[in-house]
Amino acid sequence: MLLGMHRAYLPPGAAEDGRVTLDLPAGRVTPATVAAALGMPPDAARVVFRDGEAIATDHRLGDGDTVTFLWPIGGG
């Protein structure tokens, strides 16, 4: 799911709620490979959730996992 500034990477025909279904080649699929398939720069995919749980960008994903990318926020 692409929210906020990540919506710029929605492919044509994507759902308005930011959901995207990708058909990626079999093998080791991670949030990093999903981000690359969407054309996102690596630094834009640092905060990732799978089914509501925070995960690393190299976490192996399974069929049907829902991945949400959030834009990193700075503060101080």
| CB-CB contact of 70 with 76 (8 Å) | no
| CB-CB contact of 63 with 38 (8 Å) | no
pTM for this structure?
0.81
Averages of pLDDT over runs of 10 residues in the chain (76 residues) are 84 84 85 92 85 92 88 66
Domain boundaries, the chain: 4-70
**What residues contact residue 3 under an 8 Å CB cut-off, 6+ apart?**
18, 68, 69, 70, 71
pLDDT of residue 75: 60
**What residues contact residue 34 under an 8 Å CB cut-off, 6+ apart?**
22, 24, 45, 61, 67
pLDDT of residue 30: 93
pLDDT of residue 25: 82
